[in-house]
Amino acid sequence: MAAPTTGTPVTEFWADVDRHLVRYGGTFTPEIIASAEGSFLRTEDGRRILDFTSGQMSAILGHSHPAIVETVRRQIGTLDHLFSGMLSRPVVELARRLAGTLPAPLEKVQLLTTGAESNEAALRMAKLVTGKHEIVSFARSWHGMTQAAAGATYSAGRRGYGPAAPGNFAIPAPNTYRPDFLAADGSLDWRRQLDFGFDLIDAQSTGNLAACLVEPILSSGGVLEPPPGYFAALREKCRERGMLLILDEAQTGLCRTGTWYAFERDGIVPDILTLSKTLGAGLPLAAVITSAESEQEAHERGYLFFTTHVSDPLVAAVGNTVLDVLERDGLDQRAVRLGEVLRSGLHELAGRHEVVGDVRGRGLLVGLELVVDRETKQGSDALGAAVTQRCLELGLHMNIVQLPGMGGVFRIAPALTATEQELVLGLEILDQAIGEVTRDWP
């Protein structure tokens, strides 16, 4: 048996990283993380790092929340995993409770593990119910790296893998900071943009439009929030073509934006809703939620999405605890209050630093876009990378989105349990990092 690796010298640790780990996107953060609690990570050498991304935008209750820890300890000692056709009380309870947080007719729930998997299942269901196969998504979308989800993802990961599944189409993502269709006042003419997008879809479609899969706020796409009215108009486009509307609320669901679901702002109800990251608060739990009518239609046509960890009791119990804490602590309203603090602080930074081009977002999902010229909105990958690195050195973990045609956009998504003091600390570090990096910037 190989010797345990815990406690090996740091140089040996990184040598093992180079020797044995597959690199799966970007670069590894040059820190060895030993523990995490609340809003902070602790490195092996004792440094504390404020986590402004909630892990992978998932740990909405912070790290090692006492209620989650207690649930995992209790549940794993009684019932952890079952044959996929077996049911347990935590699974049925979570399905019932999720349905209770949603408007009619969303009431049928399937519990899975990841966002990609839930989107895969939703697309499979939509194709079966409609009898069609074509899928429309935003050109800046991220829905996952499995086959159908990756086919509907346009922000990254398309090159070098051969042809995607036929029938995947993109429409322009509404970017109010960088409008491509201009109204008379210079703002984004999103109605004209949407009409243009669907004119192109109609020209390419073979008459098999099944669904439109979109995020209410495009996170990996640069924290882009479509204007009020956009999703009602998009839903009408879908209705006109017999398409289902699927909303991917992996990062926006369960109170992060100040309401339980981001789509509530727009007064619409999707045909299928997918949840993931926030549902497990950092543990692998996802859900597909639809109407009884659609579920019945899919069932009659032989819907099959049988996975190893479908309806697992351990993570379902965690999901119930997540709902308990969200409800008990009123974290939807807390996200509103803290989001105002965060955006106010970022606007103050914009007043001090010319490189801050835009502040946007809702609740505790906020984007800050860096530019080297506010007039031209010219971005710089190097600037974003330098600020990210300096933040980490100063004790703040940030995530920068760098896409062609955009500046570097920080996705800021602290835990809903973060304190106002922690947000202020993060803003102070970011302020210092931007100031130091830009002081001698060419």
pLDDT digits (tens, 9 = 90+) for 124-136: 999 999 999 999 9
In tens, the pLDDT along 318-336 reads: 999 999 999 999 999 999 9
Residue 32: what residue type? I
Is 79-328 in CATH node 3.40.640.10?
yes
Q: Residues 365-382: what's their mean pLDDT?
A: 94
Q: Where in the chain is the domain with CATH 3.40.640.10?
A: 79-328
CA dist 45 and 43 (Å) reads: 5
14-64+330-439: CATH topology: Aspartate Aminotransferase, domain 1 (3.90.1150)
Catalytic residues: 142, 215, 248, 251, 277, 411
Contacts of 403 (CB under 8 A, 6+ apart): 140, 155, 156, 221, 222, 409
Instruction: Read off the pTM.
Output: 0.96
Q: Apex CA 379: angle with CA 374 and CA 385, to 5°?
A: 125
Question: Is residue 186 over pLDDT 50?
Answer: yes
Residue 425: what residue type? L
Q: Where in the chain is the domain with CATH 3.90.1150.10?
A: 14-64+330-439
Question: Is residue 425 over pLDDT 50?
Answer: yes
pLDDT of residue 1: 35
Helix (H) and strand (E) counts in the chain: 13, 15
Range from 231-245, 333-347, 400-414 carrying the lowest mean pLDDT:
400-414
pLDDT of residue 440: 84
Phi, psi of 279 (to 5 degrees): -65, -40
Q: Residues 300-311: what's their mean pLDDT?
A: 97
CA atoms within 13 A on the CB side of 53: 18
